[in-house]
Amino acid sequence: MGMPRILRSPYTAVAAVAIAYIALAYLIDNKYYQLMITLMLLWSVMALSWNMLSGYSGLVSFGHASFWGLGAYTVTLALVKFDITPWLGIPLGVVVGAAAAAAIGYPTFRLRGHYFALAMLAYPLALLYVFEWLGYQEVPLPMKREQPALYMQFADQRIYVLLALALLVASMLISLRLERSRFGLSLMAIKQNEPAAEAAGINALRWKLLAIMLSGAIGAAGGGMYALVLLVVTPPTVFGMLVSAQGLVLTLFGGVGTVWGPVIGAAILVPLAETLNAELGNVLPGIQGVVYGIAIILVILYAPEGLYWKARDWLAKGRAAPVAAEPAPAVAQVASLRTNFPVTAPRPVAMSSAVPILQLQSVARSFGGLRALDSVSFEVRKGTLQGIIGPNGSGKTTLFNVLNGFLRPDHGRIRFNGHSLVGMKPNAVCRLGIGRTFQVVRTFPRMSVLHNAMVGAFVRSRDDARAEALAREALERVGLTGRANALAGALTNKERRLMELARALASVPELILMDETLAGLAPQEIDDLLPLLKQLNTEGLTIIIIEHTMHAMVRLADDFIVLDHGRMIAQGKPADVVHIPAVIEAYLGKRWMSRVAN
């Protein structure tokens, strides 16, 4: 509001927290409390590491102790075996952590949901047994009496506080920087709807790998420092279940998917658990774990996204109820009216050239015994508005899934502008210039309309400003400019369809695959949409559209392809195709026949 910009910047907040912490560290001279505030920082680092992967991408990891433990053992063994100072040992640990993360992530990202979580659990537990077997049950860090500073050993505990603080601030800055870049948006999109993100050109595997490698690097750095502070490393203390759980619990408690969550979680829970452990540890030896367990149960029941989001929602409710009542829909209406132009406007015929943009040659795909696509061959010329019709289960959506890389054809050839599409991933297909919308709209509901469209634009832009420009242009084209800042989850059905279209347009496609874009719309809304599609087509976009609403299709498409039981039974001008008996029998039905007869 009235606050100067610099005060509202998150970087200012990070600096303020850091300064307050340094002051705190200087005020405390009790060794135990110094250790506690050091641990609080280090567990914040662990939680940030967990958040970097799981918070942003939504893939819950139960195994972040792998990175923590590898960092701790790298630093310790480098010092014990090779006399390498932790000043080098920690960077070395970071490299080990990132490499381990890549090695773990690459195979494990094939899994989703709880299978991913459980598979991640197996890694640190396996490592735990391996390190025990290797004979590293308990490795103390040797004291260096000469040149202790060279070996990162300090009599003054406060220096450890500063070192841990530096590590935390670095991790926070990395998180902040990435959270607001395409890294954050891409991971958020993957979290909310991975197939849609892939179809919009996001290389999900690449971003996830980057996230886990950064996560592994940060976790390993934290683990390395932890070893220095504790002065002794055992497999259960660095690879144990409670280590992984701590990263997860602190983040979920504080707030998931934001840089502040892990810090808030650690600031509350670590002192609580440590104090209880110090006061009652003798009588109640597992009290720490109980605190974490109860904290996570309460959070899941009452604030599933964590305190930060709960507080934000609560503040937003008190302050800004009118935000939702913005008169934006009216603007959108006007904007979409602007794109309306007479349906009867003659289409420049020259647009559809003789050059084929897409060629299919005996493409087939089966699911078990079911032949979903059976030797389908056709060509789509550049600039055509190609309709695909057919009864339910005739293979229309399967055809799209094969075209844009969700499914691999069993055999056959697909060429787009001369490139073979067979075996390409959806994001690569999108990169080549094929956009896609879905039968059931796939949005990123917790992101704004603009950000939804930006996700589509990343594939065509190196920098984020350019992506935003492309996204705004795409929103303008579909008439959603007035809704740019609305949350996608709050849109009407028609607006969501338009936004999905804008996301596809933002990737500047040459060809767009539209799967039942008109489904579930009122006749009036369909009448609004048809001219838009026509116009996009006139502007040079080739469109392949699946649609059931025949009267709309007849007005819209230049050419029909009719599928039935996975076979192409007809192709031609709409006026001709609807008279073919096989088409009438398979799809249009007797009523249509009688109507045609009249």
Partner 1 sequence: MRGGRVAEDVPNIGAARRRTTPPALMTDLPLWLENLLQTLATGILVGGTYALMCVGLSLIFGVMRVINFAQGDFLMLGMYAAFYLYTGVGLQALMGPYIGPIVAAFLAGPIVFAIAWFLHRWLMSRVSGTATQGVAGEGHHAQLILTLGIALVLQNGGLIVFGSMPQSIRSPLSKEAWELGPVLLNKSRVVAFCVAVGVALLLYFFMNRSVLGKALRAAADNADAAIYMGIDVDRAHRLAFSIGIALTAIAGGLVAMYYPFQPYVGLDFVIIMYTGVVLGGMGSILGAFWGGMTIGLVQQLSTLILPIQLQNTAIFVVFLVIVLFRPQGLFGRITERT
Which residues would be at the binding site for partner 1 (CB under 8 A)? Answer: 58, 60, 62, 107-108, 110-111, 113-115, 117-119, 121-123, 125-126, 129-130, 132-133, 137, 195, 236-237, 240-243, 245, 248-249, 252, 284-290, 292-297, 300-301, 304, 397, 400-401, 406, 438-440, 442, 515
DSSP, collapsed to helix, strand or coil, labels residue 325 as: helix
Task: Give residue 503's identity as a one-letter amino acid code.
Answer: R
Q: How far apart are CA 328 and CA 387, in angstroms?
A: 33
Q: Beta partners for 511?
A: 434, 542
Q: How far apart are CA 507 and CA 374, in angstroms?
A: 31
- Find the shortest distance in angstroms from Cβ 434 to partner 1: 14
Q: Are 450 and 484 in contact (CB under 8 A)?
A: yes
Dihedral (Cα; 107, 108, 110, 115), 10-degree rounding: 150
Q: How far apart are CA 566 and CA 573, in angstroms?
A: 20
- Find the shortest distance in angstroms from Cβ 109 to partner 1: 10
Q: How far apart are CA 456 and CA 436, in angstroms?
A: 10
Residue 180 to residues 99, 183, 374, 464, Cα–Cα distance (Å):
25, 8, 46, 10
Nearer to partner 1 (CB atom), residue 519 or residue 584: 519
DSSP, collapsed to helix, strand or coil, labels residue 283 as: coil
Nearer to partner 1 (CB atom), residue 423 or residue 489: 489
Task: Give residue 135's identity as a one-letter amino acid code.
Answer: G
Nearer to partner 1 (CB atom), residue 43 or residue 438: 438
* CA triple 350-358-377, angle to 5 deg: 115
Nearer to partner 1 (CB atom), residue 36 or residue 332: 36
Nearer to partner 1 (CB atom), residue 10 or residue 293: 293
For 138, residues 6+ apart whose C-beta sits below 8 A from its C-beta are 232, 233, 234
Residue 465 to residues 181, 430, 460, 470, 486, Cα–Cα distance (Å):
10, 20, 12, 9, 20
